[in-house]
Amino acid sequence: MRAMVAGIAFATAPVAAQAEEFINILTGGTSGVYYPIGVGLAKIYGEGIPGARTQVQATKASVENLNLLQQGKGEFAIALGDAVKLAWDGNADAGFAAPLGKLRGIAAAYPNYIQIAASADSGVTTLADLAGHSLSVGAAKSGTELNARAILAAAGMSYDGLSKIEYLPFAESVELMKNRQLDASLQSAGLGVASLKDLATSAPTTIVAIPTDVVTALGAPYMPAVIPAGTYEGQTADVPTAAVGNFFVTHEGVSEETVYQMTKLLFENLTALEASHKAAAAIKLEEALTGMPIPLHPGAERYYREIGLIKG
């Protein structure tokens, strides 16, 4: 799916003498979690930052978002922690031709859960069962696809052992599964992602476990996690999996005052943001700096010093 700019813009109160501030929020596909979180933030920033004009851009998520930030084509983005680290290092295999040295951190967000859904008809009930079956792993070199490669490698598997690999966004993967043209989809997202909710209510679906020993083999930034029973229709038991943290990111060219306001308003409006998607409930101020893989933006640092999260 080509990146698109959604028709969502939030006007602010009269700006008087205030200079207009444009904030483009880079998210992911519209059926994922990044997008509704971005919409919620656009509303918060449009109403709370004097002179701000906000826009939400649907993208292929982490890798594209980070490259766009480096190019100055966005002011705020959501991205997976492993992708942020690879971007900072300049890992070409992950989609970063050179180190993205302009990136700056705002805050740790909520964790993404690696969620593998298989059609009941496929007979896939375990990770090993994916061998010989078709799997969608997200857009090529997206954050989700980086997760897919890592998970399979840790389990001693690879794309070569599958019958077919599809590089599709979440919603398109689900449509293929509904039409019995795809056996399984790996989606890296917050719990209750819309695409998998749609799938599970449309056809019998198995949420496939990622064993703890596989997660341990992965190491940081991956960590063991659980998809609670009842997250998706027909899921009657907890399912072990892996999780990896998301981060809110900007670039060095965004002003200190703007990033200060974005950081402050983020944490002062978590309840409102949770109304956009329940994944936001996992965003915690006390964990805002946990695992940050890149330097903080001075505007974010100013906020954290102001509230005492950074001492000295």
Span 111-140, average pLDDT:
96
- In whole angstroms, what separates CA 273 from the centre of its chain? 15
pLDDT computed for residue 96 by the predictor: 96
pLDDT computed for residue 139 by the predictor: 85
More confident position, 98 or 10: 98
Quick one: 120 and 231 in the same domain?
yes
Average pLDDT, the chain: 92
pLDDT digits (tens, 9 = 90+) for 66-95: 999 999 999 999 999 999 999 999 999 899
Task: Give Dmax over CA atoms of the chain in angstroms.
Answer: 64
pLDDT band, very low/low/confident/very high, at 219 (cuts 50, 70, 90): confident
- Which tokens belong to 228? 């609670």
Quick one: 102 and 120 in the same domain?
no
The candidate with the shortest Cα–Cα distance to 189, out of 225, 165, 161, is: 225
Total count of domains within the chain: 2
Q: What single-letter amino acid sits at 41?
A: L
Going from the C-alpha of 159 to that of each of 36, 41, 130, the distances in angstroms are: 31, 37, 10
Q: Is the pLDDT at 6 greater than 70, yes or no?
A: no
Query: Looking at residue 87, which CATH number applies to its domain?
Result: 3.40.190.10
Range of the structural domain that residue 238 is part of = 112-244
Q: Is the pLDDT at 175 greater than 80, yes or no?
A: yes
Of 193, 224, 244, the last residue of a domain is: 244
- Residue 311 belongs to some domain of the structure: no
For tokens 């997660």, what's the residue?
215
pLDDT computed for residue 20 by the predictor: 82
pLDDT computed for residue 1 by the predictor: 37
Quick one: 80 and 176 in the same domain?
no
Span 44-72, average pLDDT:
96
pLDDT band, very low/low/confident/very high, at 117 (cuts 50, 70, 90): very high
Strand pairing partners for 57? Answer: 5, 26
Quick one: 155 and 301 in the same domain?
no
The candidate with the shortest Cα–Cα distance to 219, out of 154, 157, 294, is: 154
- Residue 14 belongs to some domain of the structure: yes
Q: Is the pLDDT at 198 greater than 90, yes or no?
A: yes
Q: Is the pLDDT at 178 greater than 80, yes or no?
A: yes
Quick one: 124 and 237 in the same domain?
yes
